[in-house]
Chain A
Amino acid sequence: MILDALFLINALLAVGFAVAMITRKNPIYSALCLIATFFPLAFIFLLLWAPFVAMIQIMVYAGAIMVLFVFVIMMINTEKQELEAGKPKWYRRIAGAIAFLFVIVGFYSIVMGINSIAPVDSSIKEEFGSTAALGHLIFDKYLIQFELVSVLILVAVIGAVFLAKKNLD
Protein backbone atom coordinates (compact mmCIF):
# COMPACT_ATOMS: atom_id res chain seq x y z
CA MET A 1 0.00 0.00 0.00
CA ILE A 2 2.68 2.44 1.07
CA LEU A 3 4.86 1.18 -1.78
CA ASP A 4 2.04 1.82 -4.24
CA ALA A 5 1.55 5.32 -2.91
CA LEU A 6 5.29 6.03 -3.04
CA PHE A 7 5.50 4.72 -6.57
CA LEU A 8 2.53 6.79 -7.69
CA ILE A 9 3.89 9.98 -6.12
CA ASN A 10 7.31 9.51 -7.64
CA ALA A 11 6.00 8.47 -11.04
CA LEU A 12 3.77 11.53 -11.19
CA LEU A 13 6.63 13.76 -10.04
CA ALA A 14 8.92 12.32 -12.70
CA VAL A 15 6.35 12.80 -15.46
CA GLY A 16 5.48 16.26 -14.15
CA PHE A 17 9.08 17.43 -14.16
CA ALA A 18 9.64 15.88 -17.57
CA VAL A 19 6.66 17.79 -18.98
CA ALA A 20 7.90 20.94 -17.28
CA MET A 21 11.29 20.38 -18.87
CA ILE A 22 10.01 20.44 -22.44
CA THR A 23 7.67 23.37 -21.85
CA ARG A 24 10.17 25.79 -20.30
CA LYS A 25 11.36 28.59 -22.59
CA ASN A 26 14.55 29.23 -20.67
CA PRO A 27 17.00 26.35 -21.24
CA ILE A 28 18.47 26.64 -17.76
CA TYR A 29 15.06 25.91 -16.29
CA SER A 30 14.73 22.95 -18.64
CA ALA A 31 18.01 21.66 -17.25
CA LEU A 32 16.80 22.22 -13.70
CA CYS A 33 13.59 20.30 -14.40
CA LEU A 34 15.56 17.45 -15.97
CA ILE A 35 17.75 17.25 -12.87
CA ALA A 36 14.62 17.19 -10.75
CA THR A 37 13.30 14.32 -12.88
CA PHE A 38 16.21 12.08 -11.91
CA PHE A 39 15.34 12.02 -8.23
CA PRO A 40 11.91 10.42 -8.49
CA LEU A 41 13.40 8.02 -11.04
CA ALA A 42 16.13 7.07 -8.58
CA PHE A 43 13.45 6.56 -5.96
CA ILE A 44 11.58 4.21 -8.28
CA PHE A 45 14.78 2.20 -8.68
CA LEU A 46 14.91 1.99 -4.90
CA LEU A 47 11.35 0.68 -4.86
CA LEU A 48 12.49 -1.97 -7.34
CA TRP A 49 15.16 -3.22 -4.91
CA ALA A 50 18.03 -1.71 -6.87
CA PRO A 51 19.84 0.70 -4.53
CA PHE A 52 23.06 0.59 -6.54
CA VAL A 53 21.33 1.59 -9.76
CA ALA A 54 19.46 4.32 -7.89
CA MET A 55 22.67 5.85 -6.57
CA ILE A 56 24.39 5.56 -9.94
CA GLN A 57 21.38 7.24 -11.51
CA ILE A 58 21.89 10.31 -9.35
CA MET A 59 25.68 10.21 -9.41
CA VAL A 60 26.09 9.88 -13.16
CA TYR A 61 23.11 11.79 -14.50
CA ALA A 62 22.48 14.49 -11.92
CA GLY A 63 26.06 14.63 -10.70
CA ALA A 64 28.02 14.50 -13.94
CA ILE A 65 26.09 14.64 -17.19
CA MET A 66 23.77 17.46 -16.20
CA VAL A 67 26.75 19.37 -14.87
CA LEU A 68 28.09 19.43 -18.42
CA PHE A 69 24.67 20.41 -19.78
CA VAL A 70 24.41 23.31 -17.36
CA PHE A 71 27.99 24.26 -18.13
CA VAL A 72 27.28 24.47 -21.87
CA ILE A 73 23.99 26.32 -21.40
CA MET A 74 25.67 28.92 -19.23
CA MET A 75 28.52 29.27 -21.73
CA ILE A 76 26.38 29.90 -24.79
CA ASN A 77 23.79 31.89 -22.81
CA THR A 78 20.81 31.41 -25.12
CA GLU A 79 18.67 33.68 -23.00
CA LYS A 80 19.71 36.70 -25.06
CA GLN A 81 18.48 35.30 -28.36
CA GLU A 82 15.02 34.36 -27.04
CA LEU A 83 13.92 31.26 -28.90
CA GLU A 84 11.03 32.31 -31.15
CA ALA A 85 8.07 29.99 -30.98
CA GLY A 86 6.78 30.91 -34.45
CA LYS A 87 3.93 29.26 -36.27
CA PRO A 88 3.96 25.49 -35.93
CA LYS A 89 5.01 23.77 -39.15
CA TRP A 90 3.41 20.53 -40.26
CA TYR A 91 6.19 18.32 -38.93
CA ARG A 92 5.99 20.08 -35.61
CA ARG A 93 2.32 19.19 -35.40
CA ILE A 94 3.09 15.54 -36.14
CA ALA A 95 5.88 15.51 -33.59
CA GLY A 96 3.53 17.07 -31.06
CA ALA A 97 0.88 14.46 -31.73
CA ILE A 98 3.38 11.62 -31.30
CA ALA A 99 4.70 13.18 -28.10
CA PHE A 100 1.15 13.50 -26.80
CA LEU A 101 0.64 9.81 -27.57
CA PHE A 102 3.70 8.98 -25.49
CA VAL A 103 2.33 11.02 -22.60
CA ILE A 104 -0.92 9.05 -22.72
CA VAL A 105 0.99 5.77 -22.90
CA GLY A 106 3.13 6.92 -19.98
CA PHE A 107 0.15 7.72 -17.79
CA TYR A 108 -1.56 4.50 -18.83
CA SER A 109 1.48 2.44 -17.86
CA ILE A 110 1.74 4.26 -14.51
CA VAL A 111 -1.85 3.41 -13.68
CA MET A 112 -1.53 -0.17 -14.87
CA GLY A 113 1.97 -0.59 -13.44
CA ILE A 114 0.91 -0.03 -9.85
CA ASN A 115 -0.26 -3.61 -9.60
CA SER A 116 2.94 -5.11 -10.87
CA ILE A 117 5.72 -3.16 -9.17
CA ALA A 118 8.15 -4.52 -6.62
CA PRO A 119 6.35 -7.63 -5.40
CA VAL A 120 7.12 -7.93 -1.70
CA ASP A 121 7.49 -11.68 -1.49
CA SER A 122 10.17 -14.18 -0.61
CA SER A 123 11.16 -14.69 -4.24
CA ILE A 124 13.42 -11.62 -3.94
CA LYS A 125 16.58 -12.37 -2.05
CA GLU A 126 18.17 -9.70 0.02
CA GLU A 127 21.22 -9.61 -2.24
CA PHE A 128 19.13 -8.89 -5.33
CA GLY A 129 20.16 -5.57 -6.84
CA SER A 130 23.01 -5.09 -4.40
CA THR A 131 26.39 -3.85 -5.55
CA ALA A 132 27.89 -7.32 -5.21
CA ALA A 133 25.12 -9.05 -7.16
CA LEU A 134 25.34 -6.51 -9.94
CA GLY A 135 29.10 -6.82 -10.07
CA HIS A 136 28.87 -10.59 -10.41
CA LEU A 137 26.34 -10.25 -13.22
CA ILE A 138 28.43 -7.76 -15.15
CA PHE A 139 31.84 -9.33 -14.65
CA ASP A 140 30.90 -13.02 -14.71
CA LYS A 141 27.80 -13.70 -16.69
CA TYR A 142 27.76 -10.78 -19.11
CA LEU A 143 31.50 -10.09 -19.30
CA ILE A 144 31.71 -10.23 -23.11
CA GLN A 145 28.75 -7.91 -23.57
CA PHE A 146 30.21 -5.55 -21.00
CA GLU A 147 33.57 -5.48 -22.77
CA LEU A 148 31.86 -4.88 -26.13
CA VAL A 149 30.00 -1.89 -24.70
CA SER A 150 33.26 -0.59 -23.26
CA VAL A 151 34.93 -0.80 -26.66
CA LEU A 152 31.95 0.99 -28.19
CA ILE A 153 32.27 3.82 -25.70
CA LEU A 154 36.00 3.98 -26.31
CA VAL A 155 35.36 4.32 -30.04
CA ALA A 156 32.91 7.15 -29.35
CA VAL A 157 35.45 8.92 -27.14
CA ILE A 158 38.18 8.63 -29.76
CA GLY A 159 35.75 9.93 -32.38
CA ALA A 160 34.85 12.92 -30.23
CA VAL A 161 38.52 13.74 -29.62
CA PHE A 162 39.23 13.41 -33.36
CA LEU A 163 36.39 15.78 -34.31
CA ALA A 164 37.39 18.33 -31.68
CA LYS A 165 41.02 18.22 -32.86
CA LYS A 166 40.03 18.77 -36.48
CA ASN A 167 38.20 21.96 -35.58
CA LEU A 168 41.17 23.26 -33.65
CA ASP A 169 43.66 22.99 -36.52
Chain B
Amino acid sequence: MLSVFGMLMLFVSYIVYAERRVSAFIQDRLGPNRVGWQGLMQPWADAIKLILKEDIYPDKADKFLFFLAPFIAFAPGLITFALIPIGSLDFSDPQAALAISNINVGILFILAIGSLNFYGLAFGGWASNNKWSLFGGLRASAQMISFEIAMGFALISILMTAESVNMNSIVHSQTGTLWGFIPRWNVFVQPLAFLVFLIAAFAENNRLPFDMPEAEPELVGGYHTEYSSLKFGLFFLGEYAALITMSAVIVTLFFGGWTLPWVSQETMASWGWGPIISGLFSFAVFIVKWFAVMFFYIWVRWTLPRVRYDQLMNLGWKVLIELAFLNILITAAIGLWL
Protein backbone atom coordinates (compact mmCIF):
# COMPACT_ATOMS: atom_id res chain seq x y z
CA MET B 1 0.00 0.00 0.00
CA LEU B 2 2.81 2.37 0.90
CA SER B 3 4.56 1.50 -2.31
CA VAL B 4 1.47 2.38 -4.31
CA PHE B 5 1.25 5.64 -2.39
CA GLY B 6 4.90 6.31 -3.16
CA MET B 7 4.39 5.48 -6.81
CA LEU B 8 1.40 7.82 -6.99
CA MET B 9 3.31 10.68 -5.39
CA LEU B 10 6.17 10.14 -7.81
CA PHE B 11 3.73 10.15 -10.71
CA VAL B 12 2.04 13.26 -9.40
CA SER B 13 5.29 15.19 -9.25
CA TYR B 14 6.42 13.94 -12.63
CA ILE B 15 3.13 14.55 -14.41
CA VAL B 16 3.56 18.22 -13.50
CA TYR B 17 6.97 18.06 -15.13
CA ALA B 18 5.50 16.15 -18.08
CA GLU B 19 2.79 18.74 -18.45
CA ARG B 20 5.31 21.55 -18.55
CA ARG B 21 7.50 19.77 -21.07
CA VAL B 22 4.60 18.70 -23.29
CA SER B 23 3.03 22.14 -23.18
CA ALA B 24 6.38 23.62 -24.13
CA PHE B 25 6.68 21.14 -26.98
CA ILE B 26 3.18 21.97 -28.21
CA GLN B 27 3.90 25.70 -28.05
CA ASP B 28 7.36 25.24 -29.61
CA ARG B 29 9.25 26.24 -26.44
CA LEU B 30 11.80 24.36 -24.36
CA GLY B 31 10.17 24.12 -20.95
CA PRO B 32 12.07 23.31 -17.74
CA ASN B 33 15.34 21.64 -18.78
CA ARG B 34 17.96 23.08 -16.44
CA VAL B 35 17.66 21.13 -13.18
CA GLY B 36 19.30 17.77 -13.71
CA TRP B 37 19.43 15.92 -17.02
CA GLN B 38 16.66 17.28 -19.29
CA GLY B 39 15.23 19.00 -16.22
CA LEU B 40 14.26 15.72 -14.60
CA MET B 41 15.07 17.04 -11.12
CA GLN B 42 12.64 19.95 -11.57
CA PRO B 43 9.83 18.40 -9.45
CA TRP B 44 12.21 18.05 -6.49
CA ALA B 45 13.32 21.65 -6.83
CA ASP B 46 9.66 22.71 -6.96
CA ALA B 47 8.82 20.65 -3.88
CA ILE B 48 11.71 22.17 -1.89
CA LYS B 49 10.65 25.64 -3.00
CA LEU B 50 7.05 25.02 -1.86
CA ILE B 51 8.08 23.62 1.50
CA LEU B 52 10.41 26.52 2.26
CA LYS B 53 7.84 29.22 1.49
CA GLU B 54 6.08 31.10 4.25
CA ASP B 55 2.72 29.68 5.26
CA ILE B 56 0.27 32.60 5.34
CA TYR B 57 -3.16 32.70 6.95
CA PRO B 58 -5.23 35.66 5.73
CA ASP B 59 -6.37 37.93 8.57
CA LYS B 60 -10.09 37.31 8.32
CA ALA B 61 -9.95 33.75 7.12
CA ASP B 62 -11.77 30.99 8.91
CA LYS B 63 -8.66 29.34 10.35
CA PHE B 64 -9.96 25.82 10.86
CA LEU B 65 -11.64 25.38 7.47
CA PHE B 66 -8.76 27.17 5.79
CA PHE B 67 -6.48 24.53 7.28
CA LEU B 68 -8.79 21.61 6.56
CA ALA B 69 -9.72 22.37 2.94
CA PRO B 70 -6.44 21.39 1.22
CA PHE B 71 -6.53 18.00 2.90
CA ILE B 72 -10.10 17.35 1.79
CA ALA B 73 -9.12 18.31 -1.73
CA PHE B 74 -6.03 16.11 -1.65
CA ALA B 75 -7.27 12.86 -0.14
CA PRO B 76 -10.04 11.55 -2.46
CA GLY B 77 -7.79 11.19 -5.51
CA LEU B 78 -5.43 8.98 -3.56
CA ILE B 79 -8.09 6.99 -1.69
CA THR B 80 -10.00 6.02 -4.79
CA PHE B 81 -6.86 4.70 -6.44
CA ALA B 82 -6.94 1.81 -3.98
CA LEU B 83 -9.86 0.33 -5.91
CA ILE B 84 -8.23 0.28 -9.32
CA PRO B 85 -6.96 -3.10 -10.55
CA ILE B 86 -3.57 -2.16 -11.95
CA GLY B 87 -2.75 -5.74 -12.89
CA SER B 88 -3.55 -9.35 -12.30
CA LEU B 89 -1.67 -11.97 -10.31
CA ASP B 90 -3.31 -14.93 -12.00
CA PHE B 91 -4.80 -14.66 -15.48
CA SER B 92 -7.07 -17.66 -14.99
CA ASP B 93 -8.71 -16.31 -11.83
CA PRO B 94 -11.04 -13.37 -12.55
CA GLN B 95 -10.74 -11.98 -9.04
CA ALA B 96 -6.96 -12.19 -8.53
CA ALA B 97 -6.50 -8.48 -8.99
CA LEU B 98 -3.36 -6.53 -8.30
CA ALA B 99 -5.16 -3.83 -6.36
CA ILE B 100 -5.05 -2.62 -2.79
CA SER B 101 -8.70 -3.46 -2.39
CA ASN B 102 -11.11 -5.45 -4.51
CA ILE B 103 -14.62 -4.80 -3.26
CA ASN B 104 -17.94 -5.65 -4.83
CA VAL B 105 -19.10 -2.06 -5.19
CA GLY B 106 -15.80 -0.77 -6.56
CA ILE B 107 -16.94 1.73 -9.12
CA LEU B 108 -19.62 3.12 -6.79
CA PHE B 109 -16.96 3.68 -4.15
CA ILE B 110 -14.84 5.58 -6.65
CA LEU B 111 -17.79 7.78 -7.61
CA ALA B 112 -18.80 8.35 -3.99
CA ILE B 113 -15.37 9.27 -2.63
CA GLY B 114 -14.25 11.01 -5.81
CA SER B 115 -17.11 13.48 -5.51
CA LEU B 116 -15.85 14.62 -2.11
CA ASN B 117 -12.93 16.71 -3.23
CA PHE B 118 -15.49 19.32 -4.18
CA TYR B 119 -15.67 20.19 -0.47
CA GLY B 120 -11.97 20.98 -0.46
CA LEU B 121 -12.43 23.56 -3.20
CA ALA B 122 -15.69 24.98 -1.84
CA PHE B 123 -14.52 25.26 1.77
CA GLY B 124 -11.14 26.56 0.67
CA GLY B 125 -12.79 29.29 -1.37
CA TRP B 126 -15.22 30.17 1.38
CA ALA B 127 -12.72 30.13 4.25
CA SER B 128 -10.28 32.44 2.44
CA ASN B 129 -12.77 35.29 2.85
CA ASN B 130 -11.93 36.58 -0.60
CA LYS B 131 -14.49 37.34 -3.29
CA TRP B 132 -12.52 35.66 -6.05
CA SER B 133 -11.88 32.61 -3.96
CA LEU B 134 -15.55 32.35 -3.05
CA PHE B 135 -16.48 32.66 -6.70
CA GLY B 136 -14.05 29.91 -7.57
CA GLY B 137 -15.52 27.72 -4.86
CA LEU B 138 -19.10 28.35 -6.00
CA ARG B 139 -18.22 27.64 -9.59
CA ALA B 140 -16.52 24.44 -8.53
CA SER B 141 -19.61 23.27 -6.69
CA ALA B 142 -22.00 24.06 -9.52
CA GLN B 143 -19.73 22.52 -12.13
CA MET B 144 -19.01 19.35 -10.24
CA ILE B 145 -22.58 18.57 -9.34
CA SER B 146 -23.72 19.18 -12.91
CA PHE B 147 -21.16 16.93 -14.51
CA GLU B 148 -21.33 14.24 -11.88
CA ILE B 149 -24.88 13.49 -13.03
CA ALA B 150 -23.80 13.04 -16.65
CA MET B 151 -20.86 10.96 -15.50
CA GLY B 152 -23.01 8.69 -13.38
CA PHE B 153 -25.49 8.08 -16.19
CA ALA B 154 -22.71 7.41 -18.69
CA LEU B 155 -21.41 4.87 -16.23
CA ILE B 156 -24.74 3.09 -15.95
CA SER B 157 -24.58 1.89 -19.54
CA ILE B 158 -21.06 0.58 -18.88
CA LEU B 159 -22.36 -1.32 -15.88
CA MET B 160 -25.14 -2.71 -18.07
CA THR B 161 -22.61 -4.09 -20.56
CA ALA B 162 -20.33 -5.45 -17.87
CA GLU B 163 -23.22 -6.68 -15.70
CA SER B 164 -21.22 -5.90 -12.59
CA VAL B 165 -20.06 -3.01 -10.42
CA ASN B 166 -16.84 -4.75 -9.45
CA MET B 167 -13.84 -3.12 -11.12
CA ASN B 168 -12.17 -6.43 -11.84
CA SER B 169 -15.27 -7.92 -13.45
CA ILE B 170 -15.54 -4.82 -15.62
CA VAL B 171 -11.98 -5.41 -16.81
CA HIS B 172 -12.75 -9.04 -17.52
CA SER B 173 -15.88 -8.20 -19.48
CA GLN B 174 -13.64 -6.36 -21.96
CA THR B 175 -11.46 -9.25 -23.09
CA GLY B 176 -11.87 -10.84 -26.50
CA THR B 177 -12.92 -9.18 -29.72
CA LEU B 178 -15.96 -7.70 -31.43
CA TRP B 179 -16.69 -9.31 -34.81
CA GLY B 180 -13.26 -10.84 -34.67
CA PHE B 181 -11.10 -7.79 -35.30
CA ILE B 182 -11.91 -4.97 -32.85
CA PRO B 183 -10.86 -5.39 -29.20
CA ARG B 184 -13.96 -5.73 -27.08
CA TRP B 185 -13.14 -2.58 -25.14
CA ASN B 186 -15.94 -0.43 -23.86
CA VAL B 187 -14.65 2.49 -25.88
CA PHE B 188 -15.75 0.57 -29.00
CA VAL B 189 -18.81 -1.07 -27.46
CA GLN B 190 -20.04 2.15 -25.87
CA PRO B 191 -18.56 5.08 -27.82
CA LEU B 192 -21.29 7.49 -26.73
CA ALA B 193 -20.83 6.63 -23.07
CA PHE B 194 -17.10 7.12 -23.51
CA LEU B 195 -17.55 10.56 -25.02
CA VAL B 196 -19.91 11.70 -22.25
CA PHE B 197 -17.73 10.20 -19.54
CA LEU B 198 -14.58 11.78 -20.94
CA ILE B 199 -16.07 15.27 -21.13
CA ALA B 200 -17.56 14.92 -17.66
CA ALA B 201 -14.22 13.68 -16.35
CA PHE B 202 -12.47 16.76 -17.70
CA ALA B 203 -15.04 18.94 -15.98
CA GLU B 204 -14.76 16.97 -12.74
CA ASN B 205 -11.01 17.44 -12.69
CA ASN B 206 -11.30 21.15 -13.50
CA ARG B 207 -9.09 20.71 -16.51
CA LEU B 208 -9.11 23.01 -19.48
CA PRO B 209 -11.35 23.59 -21.38
CA PHE B 210 -13.45 23.47 -18.20
CA ASP B 211 -11.19 25.01 -15.56
CA MET B 212 -13.78 27.61 -14.49
CA PRO B 213 -13.10 27.32 -10.74
CA GLU B 214 -9.60 28.74 -11.14
CA ALA B 215 -9.85 30.67 -14.40
CA GLU B 216 -6.76 32.85 -14.01
CA PRO B 217 -7.75 35.87 -16.11
CA GLU B 218 -11.08 36.29 -14.30
CA LEU B 219 -10.52 34.98 -10.80
CA VAL B 220 -6.75 35.41 -10.19
CA GLY B 221 -6.36 31.87 -8.90
CA GLY B 222 -9.89 30.88 -7.95
CA TYR B 223 -10.32 28.96 -4.73
CA HIS B 224 -6.58 28.81 -3.96
CA THR B 225 -5.84 32.52 -4.45
CA GLU B 226 -5.07 33.01 -0.75
CA TYR B 227 -3.12 29.82 -0.24
CA SER B 228 0.63 29.60 0.00
CA SER B 229 3.37 27.14 0.78
CA LEU B 230 2.47 23.50 1.37
CA LYS B 231 -1.27 24.16 1.52
CA PHE B 232 -1.17 25.45 -2.00
CA GLY B 233 1.03 22.48 -2.80
CA LEU B 234 -1.65 20.13 -1.49
CA PHE B 235 -4.30 21.71 -3.71
CA PHE B 236 -1.95 21.49 -6.63
CA LEU B 237 -0.99 17.89 -5.99
CA GLY B 238 -4.59 16.96 -5.25
CA GLU B 239 -5.62 18.21 -8.65
CA TYR B 240 -3.01 16.10 -10.37
CA ALA B 241 -3.66 13.10 -8.15
CA ALA B 242 -7.31 13.29 -9.17
CA LEU B 243 -6.22 13.52 -12.80
CA ILE B 244 -4.00 10.46 -12.49
CA THR B 245 -6.69 8.45 -10.75
CA MET B 246 -9.28 9.52 -13.30
CA SER B 247 -6.97 8.41 -16.11
CA ALA B 248 -6.65 5.04 -14.41
CA VAL B 249 -10.44 4.84 -14.06
CA ILE B 250 -10.86 5.63 -17.76
CA VAL B 251 -8.34 2.95 -18.69
CA THR B 252 -10.11 0.43 -16.49
CA LEU B 253 -13.62 1.25 -17.67
CA PHE B 254 -13.06 1.89 -21.35
CA PHE B 255 -9.69 0.54 -22.48
CA GLY B 256 -9.74 -2.92 -20.98
CA GLY B 257 -7.60 -2.18 -17.91
CA TRP B 258 -4.54 -4.44 -17.73
CA THR B 259 -5.69 -6.85 -20.45
CA LEU B 260 -4.01 -7.10 -23.84
CA PRO B 261 -6.11 -6.22 -26.88
CA TRP B 262 -6.98 -9.14 -29.20
CA VAL B 263 -5.67 -11.68 -26.69
CA SER B 264 -8.41 -13.62 -24.94
CA GLN B 265 -8.37 -14.48 -21.27
CA GLU B 266 -7.94 -18.21 -22.00
CA THR B 267 -4.86 -17.59 -24.11
CA MET B 268 -3.29 -15.49 -21.37
CA ALA B 269 -4.14 -18.11 -18.77
CA SER B 270 -2.60 -20.85 -20.92
CA TRP B 271 0.83 -19.17 -20.70
CA GLY B 272 0.87 -20.39 -17.12
CA TRP B 273 2.93 -17.56 -15.65
CA GLY B 274 3.58 -17.23 -11.92
CA PRO B 275 2.03 -14.38 -9.92
CA ILE B 276 5.11 -12.15 -10.05
CA ILE B 277 5.59 -12.31 -13.82
CA SER B 278 1.84 -12.01 -14.45
CA GLY B 279 1.66 -9.05 -12.11
CA LEU B 280 4.59 -7.24 -13.70
CA PHE B 281 3.42 -7.95 -17.23
CA SER B 282 -0.17 -6.85 -16.67
CA PHE B 283 1.02 -3.78 -14.78
CA ALA B 284 3.25 -2.87 -17.71
CA VAL B 285 0.29 -3.16 -20.09
CA PHE B 286 -1.79 -1.05 -17.74
CA ILE B 287 0.89 1.61 -17.44
CA VAL B 288 1.22 2.02 -21.23
CA LYS B 289 -2.51 2.69 -21.58
CA TRP B 290 -2.47 4.84 -18.46
CA PHE B 291 0.31 7.09 -19.73
CA ALA B 292 -1.46 7.41 -23.07
CA VAL B 293 -4.61 8.71 -21.36
CA MET B 294 -2.60 11.07 -19.17
CA PHE B 295 -0.85 12.40 -22.26
CA PHE B 296 -4.24 12.93 -23.85
CA TYR B 297 -5.28 15.02 -20.84
CA ILE B 298 -2.24 17.26 -21.23
CA TRP B 299 -2.61 17.42 -24.97
CA VAL B 300 -6.21 18.63 -24.72
CA ARG B 301 -5.31 21.24 -22.13
CA TRP B 302 -2.84 22.92 -24.43
CA THR B 303 -5.02 22.63 -27.52
CA LEU B 304 -8.48 23.90 -26.61
CA PRO B 305 -9.45 27.34 -25.29
CA ARG B 306 -11.55 27.75 -22.15
CA VAL B 307 -15.32 27.74 -22.69
CA ARG B 308 -17.60 30.34 -21.16
CA TYR B 309 -19.35 29.48 -17.90
CA ASP B 310 -22.91 29.46 -19.26
CA GLN B 311 -21.77 27.36 -22.24
CA LEU B 312 -20.31 24.92 -19.77
CA MET B 313 -23.55 24.64 -17.83
CA ASN B 314 -25.60 24.31 -21.01
CA LEU B 315 -23.32 21.55 -22.20
CA GLY B 316 -23.62 19.70 -18.91
CA TRP B 317 -27.36 19.94 -18.40
CA LYS B 318 -28.79 20.18 -21.89
CA VAL B 319 -26.50 17.93 -23.91
CA LEU B 320 -24.48 15.45 -21.89
CA ILE B 321 -27.23 14.24 -19.56
CA GLU B 322 -29.61 13.71 -22.46
CA LEU B 323 -26.98 11.85 -24.45
CA ALA B 324 -26.23 9.64 -21.46
CA PHE B 325 -29.95 8.89 -21.05
CA LEU B 326 -30.26 8.07 -24.72
CA ASN B 327 -27.31 5.75 -24.43
CA ILE B 328 -28.88 3.93 -21.49
CA LEU B 329 -32.07 3.46 -23.52
CA ILE B 330 -30.17 2.10 -26.51
CA THR B 331 -28.07 -0.20 -24.36
CA ALA B 332 -31.15 -1.49 -22.59
CA ALA B 333 -32.98 -2.07 -25.87
CA ILE B 334 -30.05 -3.95 -27.38
CA GLY B 335 -29.57 -5.96 -24.21
CA LEU B 336 -33.26 -6.84 -24.16
CA TRP B 337 -33.82 -7.83 -27.78
CA LEU B 338 -30.46 -9.09 -29.01
Tell me if A55 and B108 are in contact (CB < 8 A). Answer: yes
A59 proximal to B (CB < 8 A): yes
Residue ID in chain B nearest A63 by CB atoms: B115
CB neighbours (8 Å) of A131 from chain B are 104-105, 108, 165
- At the interface, is chain A mostly helix, strand, loop or mixed? helix
Q: How far is the CA of A125 from the CA of B231 in the complex (A)?
A: 47
Residue ID in chain B nearest A67 by CB atoms: B145
A101 proximal to B (CB < 8 A): no
Tell me if A63 and B116 are in contact (CB < 8 A). Answer: yes
Binds B, one of A14-22, A68-76, A115-123, A150-158: A68-76
A-B contact pairs, 23 of them (CB 8 A): A28-B65, A32-B123, A35-B119, A51-B105, A55-B112, A56-B108, A56-B112, A58-B112, A62-B112, A62-B116, A63-B111, A63-B112, A63-B116, A64-B145, A67-B145, A68-B145, A70-B122, A71-B122, A71-B138, A71-B142, A74-B125, A74-B138, A130-B104
CB neighbours (8 Å) of A55 from chain B are 105, 108-109, 111-112
B130 proximal to A (CB < 8 A): no
CB of B286 to closest CB in A, whole Å = 24
B137 proximal to A (CB < 8 A): yes
B194 proximal to A (CB < 8 A): no
CB neighbours (8 Å) of B144 from chain A are 67
**Given contact pairs A51-B103, A131-B165, A74 touches B108 in the complex (Cβ within 8 A):** no
Tell me if B141 and A67 are in contact (CB < 8 A). Answer: yes
CB neighbours (8 Å) of B197 from chain A are none
Tell me if A59 and B112 are in contact (CB < 8 A). Answer: yes
CB neighbours (8 Å) of B137 from chain A are 74
Residue ID in chain A nearest B109 by CB atoms: A55
Interface footprint category on B:
20 to 34
Q: How far is the CA of A71 from the CA of B104 in the complex (A)?
A: 32
Which A-B residue pairs are the 6 nearest by beta carbons?
A63-B115, A55-B108, A59-B112, A58-B112, A51-B105, A71-B141
| Mask: chain A, 54-94; 1 = CB below 8 Å from B; 0 = not | 11101100111001101100110000000000000000000
Q: How far is the CA of A68 from the CA of B146 in the complex (A)?
A: 11
B126 proximal to A (CB < 8 A): yes
List the interface of chain A (C-beta within 8 A of B): 28-29, 32, 35, 51-52, 54-56, 58-59, 62-64, 67-68, 70-71, 74-75, 130-131
List the interface of chain B (C-beta within 8 A of A): 62, 65, 103-105, 108-109, 111-113, 115-116, 118-119, 122-123, 125-126, 134, 137-138, 141-142, 144-145, 148, 165
Q: How far is the CA of A67 from the CA of B123 in the complex (A)?
A: 11
Q: How far is the CA of A54 from the CA of B103 in the complex (A)?
A: 13
Query: For A54, A75, A131, which residue has the most chain B Cβ atoms within 10 angstroms?
Result: A131
Tell me if A59 and B105 are in contact (CB < 8 A). Answer: no
Residue in A28, A35, A51 whose CB lies within 8 Å of B104? A51
Residue ID in chain A nearest B141 by CB atoms: A71
CB neighbours (8 Å) of B122 from chain A are 67, 70-71, 74
CB of A138 to closest CB in B, whole Å = 14
Query: For A29, A62, A67, which residue has the most chain B Cβ atoms within 10 angstroms?
Result: A67
Q: How far is the CA of A75 from the CA of B165 in the complex (A)?
A: 37
CB neighbours (8 Å) of A75 from chain B are 138
Residue ID in chain A nearest B152 by CB atoms: A59
Residue ID in chain A nearest B114 by CB atoms: A63
Q: How far is the CA of A54 from the CA of B126 in the complex (A)?
A: 29
CB of A135 to closest CB in B, whole Å = 10
CB neighbours (8 Å) of A59 from chain B are 108, 111-112, 115
Residue ID in chain A nearest B113 by CB atoms: A58
Q: How far is the CA of A74 from the CA of B134 in the complex (A)?
A: 8
Tell me if A67 and B105 are in contact (CB < 8 A). Answer: no
Tell me if B108 and A52 are in contact (CB < 8 A). Answer: yes
Residue in A29, A64, A70 whose CB lies within 8 Å of B119? A70
